[in-house]
Every structure is written in structure tokens, then in C-alpha cells.
């Protein structure tokens, strides 16, 4: 039962009215005075040496204020400290078609574009490396010679747990298959944009369409060689990210440098094609996976060998390399497990983090193999999965701490609602039903930049007028994080949602938050916001007690979660700064309707009166809330990858029609059980799940980045096929029914986990419909038809 | 780099006479111009530098090109400027030529159909994944014929000057239906007015796509009475909205006075440089299946496909039969004979 | 010079005086002959509610009403609209009263990142101006021009359906 006033109830986004009226300002909507316009010259070669760049004609054009080339930047950068391999502008060589080579700032955008066209670059093309297999071959001219490797390997990860060989021996069924996945891209609707405002002291305010203002802040200072305190990064309204805006980017460095050089404000925006060059999408993946299964024992062993095509630079690639393997540790126990993943550099736009980061393609493979094993065993693929899902409060073989698991009950309910038992194996030829499960992190327990700071911090104020302001560094990228933070503060403080203001994603005004990626915001920033609000509540209770002549209630020290397991078998690490995760805040008072009421005595005072009383001493009412992940994980190399304080679990049951003449697959309906713990904002959860389905279905059926001689061949929304409204089915959503004791109000993530199982669920439904398995995405009509013909012996 | 669009001057004559006079003047001076109605096909090409007219002449001020007129004999005159959305929703057209309305309603997306004209859809430029790109992406490989270069990425042996020199494919959704309807084009130029059957309009080349002179204006499309001709149009596209046809099939059936199938007609878009169009007399065939076999073979044999869009070439070719037979099923061809 | 991207300052290109009605207001500017309506709205008038997602007519985010019909502003030469009446998203609400579709988009959770939202509303306003009870197919057709990557379209369809129900009860 939901005893809350605001959380748990569907809430439209707090800025929705601004969005439906066109008032919301996105980065390129800002109008800075006396602003220069920047343009970027991009490489037409996938691989070439830069012999010379002649910028004289561009610089001489009246109205051109600055021209930059690679030599204007001394340092390379990258989101991960371990692979800072990307230059703001190419130096000495270009590594992909579309790589920034030079940049201009001029009085108008048109002039800037004209000036860029006057820059003469003398390229000496070299043979490009366009495929990950080719990148494995020894070469004396690797893309990144600084790594001193004999080929184009970027990162190799190998992990081994238990005894896979023995595990396969115990299996009654062993299946091994090769799978191929093209690269897909985020296709958010707002192209990248940045605007830089410079003041008389040389301070830079950088407005950028970014998921990670804090990382951009750090990278700008480092690449520009200026003090960190001279930078301020603000994320205005943002038109979708999905991981594609979670790195610091060259264009941000370029615009900021142009502002520094000219002393003028600078505006820079991307064309849609530029976005495809920037990419950072899902890695093209070739993988072999082997599953050992026994009806009585479940999965006995799982091994995988992954080759992922990273493109020209590192981005999040090291993390991707780990996630390809470690995210296979759910949703079922895998007692014997080994994988190797190799990320290769190639002369193509770089890949990085995309919704479901690293876990999506291996999930397709594992859930298709799982389906094959269950079918071969004569088990019901749905019921068997329910029986196999992780139990609560268990440890995986690689020492992930599994806490709440609500998927068993969720999938049972989804089975019932979808009519699974009446349909599976019983639908006429061409109609099918399929299921697949997944699991995902609720934020990474470890930071990218190693430090002892909290993972998230929120500052909260209450002003003389009763306004509650949440200051958070978290980026609302459209998912509604501002709204959910406001909801939690409003819930704890008993005020209307409208009374809560959110100042977010401004690195001068808001405490450090690492950004919106790895599904961390609701869990981590949410706990921080909740704790800040609880501390504020205590200040107001103290003031109310003074006004009402009541003794202050005593508060228990933050209690550890109910058993040692919840801290990974270690002592609780709560300290004086940290209230813990999701602490109980009952204090004998009720905050509601603008009143603070003592429950036992019935005495009450006004909220504003308490605010005024509390503000008398300090002159300002301000609290801080933190979130720190518990100490988790093993002590082996790479143990930190995939560690999260909580994991979400998802199952999709999908019904499809397969056209026997054309091979067209139509998803008719879907039922989803997603365990996100307590759904703080059911409207947002539903939106995330439906959005995940759209993106997963796109990857399943039609999306693919095509290349020709290294150039992106479908760099636009006409030829890069995103499903239209006609392809999207109705989705029946089973309410989440688990409770995650460490999540704020019991919540876990909902933004990424639901994507991965969509794809294998569709593939498994195709098998039920027409009896064919496909091992290469997308499941295009021609491939489905060819498989059907092959199966029929035609 | 972001595409730097070519700059153009802009004119908007307010009568056909004024336009024709201006065209005579511009042609004599060898001026580089483009005529624009909805400009929904032209503007992206200008922005991507595929076309670089120095002057854009809008047809939107010409009353002579607007409107749908029904004539006493059952024929119709559709102004070339009639917007596709209006074609799709016009009550008279829906009564007489429902397949035309359906095809017009399958073009691109609603706001494009509000602007794009029927004439423009007949003249929509042939497309190829190698030409409909930004300048940078085109520069990433050797320039093709249509880009002014000396190679064709699709046909390695192609030679400039030998037709068809360019295999950019025909993508109009309305043309196949209008072909089956025996549409006639009214064309006006400084040399006067001429009527030309649509069937004689297109050429087998992705660059020199039709016989319209550069100073000639498509003014109207005339449709004879439908006279018992029933047409089905369907297109192959991975999405039900937005996409150009990877293959489009219009199939027509005409009854004789006794109500029996007398003629089967077929037009194809999306494959090849120009729309194919065939007519088959039912009497020459023993059965509906034999008739359809002939039709399928004709379309299939004429089709040379290339890897030019979402679907592989073999698949697009294979779908010709499927689309023809499905259209025949919807039209009830089997019941008719 | 200030905020104008495509401005009269272009060297060597004659400007023309363009007169348009935008959201009921006559607007006159000297502009280059080849600027698009989208540039005119965003850069000359500062009406940034119409979004630039691709500039090629493929994403649909720049839809505006031209004489009541939804069109893509990025494909329209502004000069071709002399004397037309343009309605942008900024002109849809009447004062503080939202169009029922705007309210439904909010209430039904059809708004996530919001970048496609103005175009969804523009297309929808046109739909509801002609058809009070559009069916599911008409709704999907109506929203198909505009690329939404957040919602999967389900909530948007829902918002349109609830608007249809609301308008059936209480026609505006």
C-alpha cells in the first residue's frame, strides 16, 4: 500500500508546460549577445596523415575572428582517465570520416561555414582499418601507436569464475552459436549544441547539451589548460541523450577555445549528419557464446568471446569491454563463467555508451541460447525462467550483491496477463509469442575518477517564502530526473510539488554529481535528495518544537540494513555525514497542508512559521544530503565493473506476426514485468519502458549504421530507420512489486534495463511463429524470409 | 562540415504568362534556375549541395496551376500544384480515382504532403544512397556521374554518356497509379503548350530522367474517366510512414461491358530509373494465374536491382511477384475471370 | 549583428523585405532571399519553439502551421510565404489557456525530453481542427512525421485519444 502523498503517484514532468508551449530553452535556443558563430571542418578521409593545413585564406575573410587547428590544443581527453586518447582537433592524422580537423569563429554562421570551406588540408590517405577482424592483424601503423601494440587492440578483458569446462560436463545440453550485431546509434532528436559565454575576467560559462556537466567541466579545464574554477557548465533543457551525450566532446573544447581566443561569446550547433559522425553508439559486435544447461541444475556454464568494434577512439570503451561479460551475471545464476572481450580501434566514428551499455548484444545471445536450451529440454520457456531467476539476497559468482528481486512474481503476472499458457506453441503458423529476461545496474558503485567523495550530493534550501529548492548536479535529459527529485523533497517535507524548485546541472551552483549515465540518478541523486530533505525536516521539526514548547524527538543513529549481507558482509560504513540509504524519517510529526502537526499532542504550527523560526539563527536554511554506495565486490582484477548497490530485473513477453511471403515481422503486443522496486513516478517508469521498447524494437528489426569506405552511408533520419508510430505495439505493464530497501523509497532503475530483453523476446517469438532462429541483427524481412525458406528446404 | 547551402535568388511570378516570359529570358541567357512548387524534394538537395540553382522560381503564385476540375465527360484536370494532402482527401477524386488518393496519402509524412504537390511527386528526383548525401560524405569516395564524376559505385563498368549512365532509382508513389489511369500531362513553354501522355514522359536514366525541357512547366495532369478501372497500390517500405518505396506496385483491372476482366495493367516504382508500365489482355490467357504469371514475369524480367536502400537487391526483386499477387488478391482477380 | 545567423549582413547578396504574419503579428524583416522559414522564426524573430532536428525534412521537429496547415519550416523558403499567416507553438495557447491537446500531452506523460513536443502539438492542432474523433490510425498518421525517441509514441497516442474524448464531450 502506498502511504505517500506524492511519490508512487503518476506525476507529469514539472517543466512539461514549458515543453508543450515551446517555452523550454534548449542549448541552441539561447541567444547570447554579441555572439560569434563557429563551424568545424571535418575529415573526408577515414585514415590519412595531415601533411599541412593552410588556414590563411579562411583567416583573411572579413568577419572571421579565429581559426583553430589541432596544434592549438596540447592535451587529448576522454571520459575515462584510462583512455584519454581523443584530440579536440585532429593532429598529424585523421582517424575517421567526419573527424574535426579545423574550426572557425566568425560573425555569422554563414561566414564561418564559408571560411571553413577555404581551409586547405593536404592529406596523405593511408589504408583504413574498417573491421574489427582486420584490426586484429599485426600492423606497423596502428591507429594509436602510443599504446605500443602490434595490432589495433584497444582493450582486452578476460575473466574466469568457477570451472566452465566442468560446468559443460554437467550439462545435458550444450549450445554454441556465433552472433553478429551492427552498430546502432542513439538518434536523440536534439543535435549536439554548445554555447560559450565569456566574462571580463576570462571565466567561461559553457551551455551544452550534455548528460555529464561535471565531466565536461573537468575536461574543459584540462584541455584548455585553465584553472578549473574558470569554468562553469550548464545543461539547459536537453533533447534526449541515451548515452550519446555522456562524454566530453571535441565541439565543447573547440567552442570554449574559440571564446578564449576571441574574447567573444561563441555558438556552435551540429547538423544531423554531424551527430552521426559523433556517434558514440553501440559497438558493432561479433561474438561466440556457449551455454551449458541442465533441466535440474539450470545454467551449468556460460562462456563468451566478444569482439567489439570501437571505432577511432576510446570513449567509454573500457567499461563497454567489461560490461559485455559481467552483465551476463544476471538475471540467472551462472556458477561457471568465463569470457574474453576485445575492443578494437577502427577508422570509423567511435562507439561508446548507449542505453543498456555493453549488456544489450550479449543479452540477445544469452537469451536466444537460453530459449533454445529450454525448448530442447521440453520446458516452458516462461516458467523455466521464473524458476531460474536469482533469489533475493544472494551473491553471484563474480561477487555482485543481489538484493531485491521482484521478477519472479512479475513474470508470473505477465504470463497470466499475456495469456502465455494459452498461446505459447499453440498459435497458428505465422503467429508467435516469446519471452526474454534481463537485468541492469542502478548506477555504478564506483566512480570513473577514483575519489572518496559521495557518489551524489544534493543541497537543499528553504527560503523565507517557503520555497524549497533542490540543488542537484544531476542532468535531466528528458527522463524526468528533476521531477523525481522534486517529488521526493516534496514528499518528505509535506509540501506541494509546485513549492519545490529545482536548480540542476549547473557546475557553479550545484554540488558535484557525476551525471546521467549508468541509470544512477534516481537511485543515487534520489537518495541524496531524500537525505537532504530529511535533514531539512529535522531543522523544521526542531523549530516547530520550540514554537510549540515540545521536546525535540530523538533520532536513532542511522541503522545498518537488516543484516550484514546488505553490506556485502562488511561492517556498515555509515558515518556522521551520511544518513544511510533510504532511512526511515518518521519523527512523530505530520507535514501536510502547510502545517506541521505533532501527532501525539495534536499541537501544530504553520510550515512558514516554522521556516521563519528556523531561519532566525543561521539566516539561511540549508541542508546537504549524500549518497555513498556500500563497499561491494571482490578483490580480483576488474571486480569493480558492474558493481551496483541494486539491480533491476526485466521480462518482456512479446507477440509477433510473421508474414510468410515477405518475412515482415510485426510486433502485435507486449507485456512487460520490470522490477524497479518502488515506482516513484509510475508515469515516468511507463515512459521509460515504452521508450526502451521502441529503441529495442528498432535495433531488433531495422536499425543499423551503414558504412561505405568508412563513411557513414545513412547519416540521417530517412535512411537510418527508427520505427514509426505504426510499428510500436501497445505495452501492458505489470506494476513493479519489489521493494529495494536501499533505494530511495524503495526504488531502482527503470531507464535502461528494459531495453535488452526486448530484442531476444522478439527473436524468440519469431521462433514460436515460424520455427526459425536468427543470429544476426537486425531481423530484417529478407533475413527472416531466407531463414524460413532454408528451414522449408527451399 | 555542416553543409554550406548554395545561395539562391528568389522570384515568384503571379501568372503563367509572366513565368513563361521569364523562362524565355532566362533560357536565352543560359541562367541557372530551378522551378519549385512544394520544394520538399528540392530544398534538401539544395541544402546538401546536390543541386545548386542560382535562382529559385516559385510556382506557388500561379492560379493556373491550382485546383481540381471535374469535366462533364467524367474526366478530371488536376492542377500540378494540387497538394498531395488535397489529392488524398478530395471527395471527387476519392470517388473516381481512389487509388490515386491512397498513393498520394502514402508519400512521406503529413506535413510534407501538405506542401508537396502532385506535379512535384511526378518530378521527384531519382535517388541513390551515393548521391543523396552531404558534400563531405560524397567527398569520402570518388564522385559518381550524378555528382559530376566519372564512376558509378553501383555499376563499376558504367561509362559516362552511355545510357543509362546513372542508376539512381525512381521513387514517385503517384506515378504508377497515374500511368495506369492513362494520365496526360499539360506542358507549357515559351514554344507553346503541348499534351504528353505520362507513359511517354520518363527516360531510362537516373540523371536525364524525363523529357521536360528546362524551360517547360508541368501545368496540369489530365485524367480520363476511370471507366471501370480499379487500381490497387502498395509499397515496400520497412516503416508504414516516412519512407520512399523500395518497390511500389500499382495493379489495375478493367472490366468489359459484361463485367468480366478484360485487361490487367501493371506499373512499378522504386526499382529502376523510371517506372515500368505494362498492359495485358485477359483474353490471351487461360486463367487468372496464367495472366498473373505473365505480369510477374514482365515486371521481374525488366527489373535490375542494386543495393541502393534498406533492402538487399535480391529481396526487392523477389518481392515483385509477392506484391503483384497480393494486389491481385485484393482486387479479386481470380473471381473475375 | 547580435543574434542573427542568417542576417542582412551577408556580403554581396541583396536582401529583400519580407512581410509575414506570425502568431497574429505582422513581422517585417530584411532578409536574404534564400532563408528558410525555420531560420526566419528562430534567428530573426527569436521564436525558438520550432526545433531544428535535421534541417532536411526528416525529423519533423520544426512543424508550424502555414495558413492553418502543418508544414515543415526547414523546407520552406521564407520568401515563398509572403503574406501567409504562420502559427508556431508559441501561438497555440490562448493566453494562459492551453489547447486541450497541450494539457493532455502533459497529463498523459506524452512529454519526456520535449524536443519533438511542439511539432506533435502543431500536427495535432491541425488534426483536431478538422476531425473531432480521429481513430487510432488517423492519430498515428498524424504523429508519424515527427521523430520521437523517448516515448515510443504510446503516451502521445494516448494524449491524442484523451483529447478526442474530451473534445467530443466539450467541443471548442
Instruction: List all residues of chain B from 2 to 31 with a beta carbon under 8 Å from chain A.
Output: 2-4
| C84: confidence class by pLDDT, cuts 50, 70, 90 | very high
* C8 vs A677, residue with greater confidence: A677
Percent of chain A scoring above 90 in pLDDT: 91
Instruction: List all residues of chain C from 70 to 99 with a beta carbon under 8 Å from chain A.
Output: 88-90, 92-93, 98
Q: Do B137 and A725 touch (CB under 8 A)?
A: no
- Please tell me whether residue A408 adopts helix, strand or coil conformation: helix
Lowest mean pLDDT among A270-279, A549-558, A755-764, C100-109: A549-558
**Assessment of whether the complete model's pTM goes beyond 0.95:** yes
Q: Which residues of chain C have a CB within 8 Å of the CB of A17?
A: 98, 102, 106
The pLDDT value given to residue B39: 97
Q: Do A478 and C102 touch (CB under 8 A)?
A: no
CA terminus-to-terminus distance, chain A: 58
> Could you read off the pLDDT of B184-230 as tens digits, one per residue?
999 999 999 999 999 999 999 999 999 999 999 999 999 999 988 99
The pLDDT value given to residue C4: 33
Q: Do A242 and C151 touch (CB under 8 A)?
A: no
The pLDDT value given to residue C6: 39
Please give, one letter per residue, the 3-state secondary structure of A629-670. Answer: CCCCCCCCCCCCCCCCCCEEEEEEEEEEEECCCCCCEEEEEE
Q: What is the mean pLDDT of chain A?
A: 95
Give the residue extent of every domain in chain B: 6-60, 229-336
> Could you read off the pLDDT of B28-50 as tens digits, one per residue?
999 999 999 999 999 999 999 99
| C9: confidence class by pLDDT, cuts 50, 70, 90 | very low
Residue A560 pLDDT > 70 = no
**Inter-CA distances, B295 with A430, B169, B264, B292, B317, Å:** 28, 21, 8, 5, 14
The pLDDT value given to residue A578: 73
Best residue in A36, A62, A188, A189 for a mutation probing chain C (most C CBs within 10 Å):
A189
> Could you read off the pLDDT of A594-608 as tens digits, one per residue?
999 999 999 999 999
Q: Do B43 and C34 touch (CB under 8 A)?
A: no
| Separation CA A12–CA B182 (nearest Å) | 55
* B335 vs A502, residue with greater confidence: A502
* B260 vs A525, residue with greater confidence: A525
Residue C5 pLDDT > 60 = no
Between strands B217-223 and B184-189, the pairing is antiparallel
| Separation CA C81–CA A549 (nearest Å) | 72
Q: Which domains does chain C have, with CATH numbers?
A: 16-91 (3.10.20.30), 100-169 (1.10.150.120)
- Please tell me whether residue B187 adopts helix, strand or coil conformation: strand
Question: What average pLDDT does this structure show over C147-159?
Answer: 98
The pLDDT value given to residue C2: 30
What CATH number labels B229-336? 3.30.390.50
> Could you read off the pLDDT of B49-95 as tens digits, one per residue?
999 999 999 999 999 999 999 999 999 999 999 999 999 999 999 99
The pLDDT value given to residue C8: 36
Lowest mean pLDDT among A120-129, A472-481, A570-579: A570-579
| B1: confidence class by pLDDT, cuts 50, 70, 90 | very low
Residue C12 pLDDT > 80 = no
Residue in chain C nearest B47 by alpha carbon: C56
Residue B128 pLDDT > 90 = yes
User: Is the Cβ–Cβ distance between A154 and A345 less than 8 Å?
Assistant: yes
The pLDDT value given to residue B75: 97
Predicted complex ipTM: 0.96
Residue A620 pLDDT > 60 = yes
Closest-CA residue to B33 (of B16, B18, B46, B14): B46
Residue A19 pLDDT > 70 = yes
Does C6 contact B at CB distance below 8 Å?
no
Does A178 contact C at CB distance below 8 Å?
no
The HSE-up count of residue C39 (CA atoms within 13 Å, CB side) is 23
Residue B3 pLDDT > 80 = no
Instruction: List all residues of chain A from 184 to 243 with a beta carbon under 8 Å from chain B.
Output: none
Q: Do A711 and B137 touch (CB under 8 A)?
A: yes
Find where cell 523544521 sits: A540
Does B315 contact A at CB distance below 8 Å?
yes
Lowest mean pLDDT among A434-438, A497-501, B283-287: B283-287
| Separation CA A717–CA A162 (nearest Å) | 46
| Chain B neighbours, 3+ Cβ pairs < 8 A | A, C
A95 Cβ neighbours under 8 A, 6+ residues apart = A46, A47, A143, A312, A313, A345, A347
User: Grid coordinates representing A781?
Assistant: 524481412
The pLDDT value given to residue A418: 98
Does A28 contact C at CB distance below 8 Å?
yes
User: Is the Cβ–Cβ distance between A248 and A214 less than 8 Å?
Assistant: no
Question: What average pLDDT does this structure show over C83-111?
Answer: 96
Residue C27 pLDDT > 50 = yes
Is it true that the peptide bond before A751 is cis, omega within 30 degrees of 0? no
> Could you read off the pLDDT of A370-408 as tens digits, one per residue?
999 999 999 999 999 999 999 999 999 999 999 999 999
Does C70 contact B at CB distance below 8 Å?
yes
Does A114 contact C at CB distance below 8 Å?
no
User: Grid coordinates representing A494?
Assistant: 509535506
Cross-strand bridge partners of residue C28: C19
User: Grid coordinates representing B221?
Assistant: 495532369
User: Grid coordinates representing C82?
Assistant: 509572403
The pLDDT value given to residue A471: 98
| A448: confidence class by pLDDT, cuts 50, 70, 90 | confident
| A666: confidence class by pLDDT, cuts 50, 70, 90 | very high
The pLDDT value given to residue B308: 86
Does C100 contact A at CB distance below 8 Å?
no
Percent of chain A scoring above 70 in pLDDT: 97
| B123: confidence class by pLDDT, cuts 50, 70, 90 | very high
Residue in chain A nearest C117 by alpha carbon: A20
The pLDDT value given to residue A567: 52
Q: Which domains does chain A have, with CATH numbers?
A: 16-22+447-627 (3.30.365.10), 32-127+189-240+245-278 (3.90.1170.50), 357-445+638-791 (3.30.365.10)
Lowest mean pLDDT among A328-332, A347-351, A389-393, B283-287: B283-287
Question: How many CB atoms within 10 Å of residue A399?
Answer: 17
Residue B89 distance to chain C (closest CA, Å) = 12
Residue C3 pLDDT > 50 = no
Compare CB distances from B47 to C56, C66, C76 and report the shortest one's residue.
C56
| B140: confidence class by pLDDT, cuts 50, 70, 90 | confident
The pLDDT value given to residue B2: 41
* B6-60 topology per CATH: 3.30.43
Compare CB distances from C69 to B7, B43, B114 and report the shortest one's residue.
B114
Q: Do B3 and A271 touch (CB under 8 A)?
A: yes
Instruction: List all residues of chain B from 78 to 137 with a beta carbon under 8 Å from chain A.
Output: 129-130, 133-134, 136-137
Residue A354 pLDDT > 60 = yes
Amino acid at each position: 500500500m502506498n502511504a505517500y502523498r506524492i511519490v508512487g503517484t503518476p506525476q507529469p514532468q514539472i517543466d512539461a508546460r514549458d515543453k508543450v508551449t515551446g517555452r523550454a530553452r534548449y542549448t541552441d535556443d539561447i541567444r547570447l549577445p554579441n555572439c560569434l558563430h563557429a563551424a568545424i571542418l571535418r575529415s573526408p578521409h577515414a585514415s590519412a596523415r595531415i601533411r599541412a593545413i593552410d588556414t590563411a585564406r579562411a583567416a583573411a575573410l572579413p568577419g572571421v575572428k579565429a581559426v583553430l587547428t589541432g596544434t592549438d590544443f596540447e592535451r587529448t581527453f576522454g571520459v575515462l582517465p584510462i583512455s584519454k586518447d581523443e584530440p579536440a582537433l585532429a593532429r598529424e592524422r585523421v582517424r575517421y570520416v567526419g573527424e574535426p580537423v579545423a574550426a572557425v569563429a566568425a560573425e555569422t554562421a554563414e561566414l564561418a561555414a564559408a571560411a571553413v570551406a577555404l581551409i586547405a588540408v593536404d592529406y596523405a590517405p593511408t589504408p583504413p582499418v574498417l573491421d574489427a577482424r582486420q584490426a586484429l592483424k599485426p600492423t606497423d601503423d596502428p591507429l594509436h601507436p602510443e599504446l605500443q601494440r602490434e595490432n589495433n587492440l584497444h582493450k582486452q578483458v578476460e575473466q574466469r569464475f568457477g570451472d566452465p569446462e566442468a560446468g559443460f560436463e554437467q550439462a545435458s545440453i550444450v549450445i554454441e552459436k556465433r552472433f553478429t550485431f551492427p552498430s546502432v546509434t542513439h538518434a536523440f532528436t536534439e543535435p549536439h549544441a554548445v554555447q560559450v559565454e565569456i566574462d571580463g575576467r576570462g571565466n567561461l560559462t559553457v551551455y551544452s547539451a550534455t548528460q555529464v556537466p561535471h565531466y565536461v567541466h573537468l575536461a574543459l579545464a584540462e584541455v584548455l589548460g585553465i584553472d578549473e574554477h574558470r569554468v562553469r557548465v550548464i545543461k539547459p533543457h536537453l533533447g534526449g541523450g541515451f548515452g550519446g551525450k555522456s562524454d566530453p566532446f571535441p565541439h565543447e573544447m573547440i567552442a570554449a577555445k574559440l571564446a578564449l581566443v576571441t574574447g567573444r561569446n561563441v555558438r556552435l550547433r551540429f547538423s544531423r549528419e554531424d551527430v552521426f559522425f559523433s556517434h558514440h553508439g553501440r559497438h558493432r559486435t561479433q561474438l561466440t557464446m556457449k551455454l551449458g544447461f541442465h533441466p535440474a541444475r539450470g545454467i551449468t556454464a556460460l562462456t563468451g568471446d566478444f569482439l567489439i568494434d570501437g571505432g577511432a577512439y576510446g570513449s567509454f570503451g573500457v567499461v563497454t569491454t567489461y560490461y559485455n561479460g559481467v552483465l551476463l551475471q544476471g538475471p540467472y545464476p551462472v556458477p561457471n563463467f568465463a569470457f574474453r572481450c576485445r575492443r578494437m580501434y577502427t577508422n570509423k566514428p567511435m562507439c561508446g555508451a548507449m542505453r543498456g551499455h555493453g549488456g544489450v548484444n550479449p543479452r540477445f545471445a544469452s537469451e536466444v541460447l537460453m530459449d533454445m536450451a529450454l525448448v530442447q529440454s521440453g520446458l516452458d520457456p516462461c516458467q523455466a525462467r521464473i524458476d531460474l531467476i536469482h533469489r533475493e539476497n544472494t551473491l553471484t559468482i563474480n561477487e555482485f550483491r543481489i538484493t531485491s528481486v521482484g521478477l519472479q512474481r512479475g513474470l508470473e503476472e505477465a504470463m497470466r496477463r499475456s495469456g502465455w499458457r494459452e498461446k505459447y506453441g499453440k498459435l497458428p503458423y505465422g503467429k508467435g509469442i516469446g519471452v526474454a529476461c534481463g537485468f541492469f545496474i542502478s548506477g555504478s558503485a564506483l566512480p570513473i575518477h577514483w575519489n572518496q567523495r559521495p557518489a551524489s550530493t544534493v543541497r537543499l534550501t528553504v527560503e523565507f517564502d517557503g520555497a524549497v529548492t533542490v540543488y542537484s548536479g544531476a542532468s535531466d535529459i528528458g527522463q524526468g530526473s528533476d521531477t523525481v527529485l522534486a517529488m521526493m523533497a516534496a514528499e518528505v517535507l509535506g509540501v506541494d510539488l509546485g513549492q519545490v524548485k529545482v536548480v540542476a546541472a549547473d557546475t557553479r551552483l550545484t554540488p558535484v554529481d557525476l551525471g546521467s549515465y549508468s541509470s544512477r540518478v534516481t537511485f543515487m541523486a534520489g537518495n541524496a535528495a531524500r537525505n537532504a530533505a530529511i535533514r531539512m525536516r529535522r531543522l523544521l521539526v526542531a523549530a516547530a518544537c520550540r514554537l510549540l514548547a515540545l521536546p525535540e524527538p530523538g533520532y536513532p543513529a542511522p541503522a545498518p540494513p537488516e543484516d550484514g549481507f546488505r553490506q556485502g558482509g562488511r561492517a556498515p560504513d555509515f558515518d556522521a555525514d551520511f544518513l544511510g540509504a533510504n532511512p526511515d524519517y518518521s519523527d512523530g510529526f505530520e507535514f501536510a497542508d502547510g502545517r506541521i502537526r505533532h501527532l501525539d499532542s495534536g499541537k501544530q504550527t504553520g510550515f512558514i512559521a516554522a521556516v521563519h523560526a528556523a531561519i532566525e539563527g543561521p539566516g539561511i536554511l540549508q541542508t546537504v544530503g549524500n549518497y555513498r554506495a556500500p563497499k561491494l565486490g571482490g578483490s580480483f582484477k576488474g571486480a569493480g565493473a558492474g558493481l551496483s548497490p541494486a539491480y533491476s530485473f526485466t521480462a518482456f513477453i512479446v507477440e509477433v506476426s510473421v508474414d510468410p511471403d515477405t518475412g515482415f515481422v510485426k510486433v502485435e503486443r507486449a507485456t512487460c514485468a520490470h522490477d524497479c522496486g518502488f515506482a516513484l513516478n509510475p508515469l515516468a517508469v511507463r515512459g521509460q519502458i515504452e521508450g526502451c521498447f521502441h529503441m529495442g524494437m528498432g535495433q531488433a528489426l531495422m536499425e543499423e549504421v551503414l558504412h561505405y569506405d568508412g563513411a557513414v552511408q545513412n547519416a540521417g533520419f530517412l535512411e537510418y530507420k527508427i520505427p514509426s508510430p505504426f510499428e510500436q505495439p501497445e505495452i501492458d505493464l505489470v506494476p513493479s512489486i519489489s521493494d529495494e530497501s536501499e533505494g530511495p523509497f524503495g526504488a531502482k532503475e527503470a531507464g535502461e534495463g528494459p531495453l535488452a530483453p526486448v530484442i531476444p523476446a522478439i527473436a524468440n517469438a519469431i521462433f514460436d511463429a515460424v520455427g526459425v532462429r536468427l543470429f544476426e541483427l537486425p531481423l530484417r524481412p529478407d533475413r527472416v524470409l531466407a531463414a524460413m525458406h532454408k528451414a522449408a528446404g527451399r | 562540415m555542416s553543409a554550406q547551402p548554395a545561395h539562391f535568388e528568389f522570384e515568384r511570378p503571379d501568372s503563367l504568362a509572366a513565368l513563361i516570359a521569364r523562362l524565355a529570358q532566362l533560357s536565352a541567357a543560359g541562367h541557372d534556375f530551378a522551378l519549385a512548387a512544394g520544394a520538399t524534394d528540392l530544398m534538401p538537395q539544395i541544402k546538401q549541395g546536390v543541386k545548386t540553382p542560382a535562382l529559385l522560381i516559385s510556382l506557388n503564385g500561379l492560379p493556373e496551376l491550382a485546383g481540381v476540375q471535374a469535366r462533364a465527360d467524367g474526366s478530371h484536370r488536376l492542377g500540378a500544384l494540387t497538394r498531395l494532402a488535397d489529392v488524398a482527401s478530395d471527395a471527387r477524386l476519392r470517388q473516381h480515382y481512389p487509388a490515386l488518393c491512397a498513393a498520394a496519402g502514402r508519400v512521406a509524412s503529413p506535413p510534407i504532403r501538405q506542401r508537396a504537390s502532385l506535379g512535384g511527386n511526378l518530378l521527384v528526383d531519382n535517388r541513390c544512397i551515393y548521391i543523396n548525401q552531404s558534400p563531405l560524405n560524397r567527398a569520402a569516395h570518388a564522385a559518381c556521374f550524378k555528382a559530376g564524376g566519372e564512376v558509378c559505385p553501383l555499376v563499376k563498368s558504367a561509362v559516362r554518356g552511355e545510357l543509362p549512365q546513372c542508376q539512381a532509382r525512381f521513387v514517385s508513389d503517384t506515378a504508377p497509379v497515374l500511368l495506369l489511369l492513362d494520365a496526360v500531362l499539360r506542358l507549357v513553354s515559351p514554344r507553346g503548350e503541348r499534351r504528353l501522355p505520362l507513359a511517354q514522359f520518363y527516360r531510362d536514366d537516373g540523371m536525364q530522367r524525363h523529357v521536360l525541357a528546362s524551360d517547360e512547366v508541368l501545368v496540369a495532369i489530365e485524367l480520363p474517366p476511370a471507366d471501370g478501372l480499379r487500381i490497387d497500390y502498395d509499397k515496400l517500405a520497412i516503416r508504414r510512414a516516412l519512407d520512399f518505396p523500395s518497390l511500389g506496385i500499382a495493379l489495375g483491372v478493367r472490366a468489359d461491358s459484361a463485367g468480366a476482366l478484360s485487361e490487367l495493367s501493371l506499373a512499378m516504382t522504386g526499382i529502376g530509373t523510371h517506372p515500368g508500365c505494362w498492359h495485358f489482355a485477359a483474353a490471351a490467357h487461360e486463367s487468372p494465374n496464367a495472366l498473373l504469371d505473365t505480369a510477374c514475369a514482365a515486371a521481374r524480367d525488366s527489373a535490375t536491382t542494386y543495393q541502393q536502400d534498406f533492402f538487399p537487391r535480391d529481396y526487392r526483386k523477389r518481392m515483385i511477384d509477392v506484391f503483384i499477387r497480393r494486389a491481385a488478391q485484393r482486387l479479386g482477380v481470380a473471381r473475375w475471370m | 549583428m547580435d543574434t542573427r545567423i542568417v542576417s542582412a549582413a551577408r556580403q554581396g547578396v541583396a536582401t529583400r523585405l519580407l512581410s509575414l504574419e506570425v502568431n497574429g503579428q505582422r513581422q517585417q524583416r530584411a532578409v536574404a532571399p534564400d532563408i528558410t522559414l525555420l531560420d526566419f522564426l528562430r534567428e530573426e524573430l527569436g521564436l525558438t519553439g520550432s526545433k531544428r532536428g535535421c534541417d532536411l525534412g526528416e525529423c519533423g521537429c520544426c512543424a508550424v502551421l502555414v495558413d492553418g496547415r502543418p508544414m515543415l519550416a526547414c523546407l520552406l523558403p521564407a520568401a515563398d510565404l509572403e503574406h501567409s499567416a504562420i502559427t508556431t507553438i508559441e501561438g497555440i495557447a490562448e493566453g494562459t489557456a492551453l489547447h486541450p491537446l497541450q494539457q493532455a500531452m502533459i497529463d498523459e506523460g506524452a512529454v519526456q525530453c520535449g524536443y519533438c513536443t511542439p511539432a506533435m502539438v502543431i500536427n495535432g492542432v491541425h488534426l483536431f481542427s478538422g476531425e473531432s474523433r480521429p481513430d487510432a490510425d488517423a492519430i498515428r498518421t498524424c504523429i508519424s512525421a515527427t521523430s520521437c525517441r523517448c516515448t515510443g509514441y504510446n503516451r502521445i497516442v494516448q494524449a491524442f485519444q484523451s483529447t478526442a474524448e474530451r473534445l467530443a464531450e466539450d467541443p471548442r
